[in-house]
Structure 1
Amino acid sequence: MDLDKPPAPQPPEGCLVVALRLPVRIVVLVLVLPVRLAWDALVAAGRFLHATVLRPLGRALLRAGRALFVWPFVALWRWVLVPVGTALGWLGHVLVVAPLCWLHAHVLTPLGRALRWAARGVVTCLLAPVGRGLAWLARGAGALLAAVGLGVFTGAAWLVRYLLVVPARWVYVQVLSPVGRALLWVAEALVTGAGAILYWTARILFVLPALALWRWVLAPVGRVLAVVAREVVDALGHAWRVAGRLSRVVGRALGTLFRWIFVEPARWLYRSVLTPVGHVVRDVLLRPAARVAREVGRVAGLTLAAARETLRETRRDLRRALFGEPRQQVAVDRREPPARDPRTLGSSTTVLTKD
């Protein structure tokens, strides 16, 4: 199978399309290029603003919102509402639910069973015979009423059939049907003739002029406008892509100029001037100053320690001169048993194995 198939042949383009394409693309490119440059500049500014301002600001606002709104409500729910709700639930169970359960189990249930047993006895002894008697009377009265109603319905049906239905059927078949057929034939003839007249009148007055207008005016103009609109849309897409490439080239050129004008001199200044100067300042000034400060701190610490020890000795000598020697505590024999040697694997406390 041939994988390198030639592209499908394109339909030939007319002279109008070829004549319109190049001027339209030039005009559209001139109009679209400033818009694309402004759009790319806005996109770059928006990305920079989003990366440097909006995202840190959003994170800060999110943390502030959590600290001001979420965490206080979480602490309120966890340490106040949940314990209070648990305590109220326990109190409600103890004060309401448990007494109601006891009342239902020990009072209402036995009372209901007693009332049900009494009602069952009353119904069995009194109401059942009365109900059976009433049912027998109702059955007899129903049978009598059914017989009387059947006779009345049969007579009324016979009268309606022979006084209304039979005459109405004869009138419908012998009178109304022929008259209706005649009226329908006349109406169909009138409607057909009027419809034909209206059809030809509308065709001559409206359809044929509209068809000629569409075929000889609107269709050619529409084709021309469709070609122009298609070329304008294609030119917009082509101009947008070309403007994007030009905008990219301009952006890279501006970035290169900014780098060579500001970034590279600043980098050279930092690397060639500020870094050596900083090293010199660090080696000549800062490190000796830090070393001297450490020595001064060490000497000051030793001086303070010596002064503190001298003050402590002076206070001890002054107390001894004013109050005399402090009383020595007499050792008291508490008669405590001497400490036993720790046990080892080779020693034993039993009599038989003691060394």
Structure 2
Amino acid sequence: MDLEKSPPPQQQNPEGCLVVAIRIPVRIVVLVLVVPVRMVWDGLVVAGRFLNDTVFRPLGRALLWVGRAVFVWPFVGLWRYVVVPLGRGLAWLGNVLVVVPCVWLYRYVLTPVGHAIAWVARGIGAGLAWIYVRLLTPLGHGFMWVLRGIGTVLAAIAVGAYGVVAWLVRYLLVVPALWLYEWVLTPVGRAIAWCVNGIVRGIGAALYWTARILIVLPAVGLWRYILAPVGRVLAVIGREIGEALGHAWRVAGRISRAVGRFLGTLLRWIFVEPVRWVYRSVLTPVGHVVRDAVLRPAAGAARAVGRVARQALESARESVRRARADVRQMLFGRPPEPEEVVRREPAGAETRTLGSSTTALTKD
């Protein structure tokens, strides 16, 4: 039973007396102002569609055809019949005059020269490698052994000197600096930081309360008691004006449609129906009479004349053909008749029977 119950209607927000008082005058004023605009707009739309169908679209097609004839087709013909053959000819000349000689030069001149240079470079590299391995490497090893010994001696001397210097630096500089940092600089720095922190906090609190009293509280009061109510009223007025514009635009559309239908009906009864009656009652019977009395007999006569002319042309062709045959026979004689060739295979397919055969060996 709960499923069959209809859902409760949604509660709408109640509208105040200000909204109701603003809505009716605004809608009346907006309707009076919007109806002429909507009728002008509908008239412009109808005129634009008519111009588009009768003027702009045919004009655009004509301009498109003229553009193709003036710009596209000449360039296409130039490309197809001039540029492409010329390019192919230049490509063939370039291949014959540049590519083939360059390939021959690379294959039969540069490649052997490069191979010779590479062979010489490999020989020089092998000689330099032998010098490096047999001469320079032993000399380098000996020089490094001498330097390693000298470095060992110098490192032993430096270690002893470093220990003495490190002890002096530790007890003359590091220990007094640590004592000064721990027992003098650290307490003084903490005291200075505590004083600066207290001063900054006091200045921050004073600035906060000053800004709150002088700027924030007046701005909050201005927003809460002046700007927010005025904004709500302006929002209601703007919403009502927008809804009134939409409602007036729809109503004006219906009025414009009714006026357009009335004008269309008036135009149809004044112009279209008389023209239609004249075409149906006057021009159509006259056209039928003209067709039956003039055009059809004229067409029959034209067909008869054409038939006679075709027969005369056929007779003339046949006479010319016979005359040519007679002249050819008088000049060259009668052509020899083709001899009949006897063929071994039968001319047509014969019916098979029980006493006959179609093979060449058993054929009767």
Q: Which band: TM-score by shorter chain?
A: 0.7 to 0.9
Deviates more, 1:89-98 or 1:246-255: 89-98
The answer to which of 2-11 and 163-172 deviates more is 163-172
Please state how far the C-alpha of 1:114 moved relative to its aligned partner: 2.0
SS in 2 for 1:340: coil
> For residues 140-177 of structure 1, what are the alpha-carbon distances to aligned partners after superposition, in whole Å with 9 as ceiling and x for unaligned?
58747966699779959959965877666555444443
Cα RMSD of the aligned pairs, angstroms, is 3.8
Whether 2:137 is the aligned partner of 1:132: answer yes
* Aligned with residue 259 of structure 2, among 250, 274, 278: 250
> Could you say if the C-alpha distance between residues 291 and 249 of structure 1 is closer, same or farther in structure 2, counting changes exceeding 3 Å?
closer
Offset at 1:17? 0.9
Match status 1:38 vs 2:40: yes
- Count how many residue pairs are aligned between Structure 1 and Structure 2: 319
Structure 2 letter corresponding to 1:98: V
Shift in Å at residue 13 of structure 1? 0.9
Match of 1:321 in 2: none
More off after superposition, 229-238 vs 174-183: 174-183
- Cα deviation code 1:57-95 (max 9, x no counterpart): 112222222222222222222222222222222322232
Q: Which of the numbers 189, 200, 208 marks the counterpart of 2:198?
A: 189
Question: What does residue 264 of structure 1 align with?
Answer: 273
Matches within 5 A, 1:73-112: 73-112=75-114
The answer on 1:208 being equivalent to 2:217 is yes
The partner residue of 1:114 within 113, 116, 119 is 116
Q: Which residue of 1 aligns with 2:286?
A: 277
Shift of 1:283: 4.5
Which stretches in structure 2 are left out of the alignment for 5+ residues?
A: 314-328, 348-364
Q: Which runs of 5+ in 1 are unaligned?
A: 306-328, 348-355
| Distance (whole Å) between structure 2 residues aligned to residue 47 and residue 219 of structure 1 | 48
Question: How far, CA to CA, are the matches of 1:183 and 1:247 in structure 2?
Answer: 85
CA-to-partner distance for each residue in 1:19-78, whole Å, 9 max, x for gaps? 111111111111111111111111111111111111111122222222222222222222
Cα distance change, pair 84–296 in 1 and its aligned pair in 2 (3 A): closer
Q: 1:232, CA displacement in angstroms?
A: 0.8
Shift of 1:12: 0.9
C-alpha offsets along residues 182-231 of structure 1, whole Å, 9 cap, x if unaligned?
22222211111111111111211122122112111111111111111111
Q: Percent identity?
A: 57
Q: TM-score, normalised by structure 1?
A: 0.75
Shift in alpha-carbon separation, 1:62–1:343, aligned structure 2, 3 A: farther
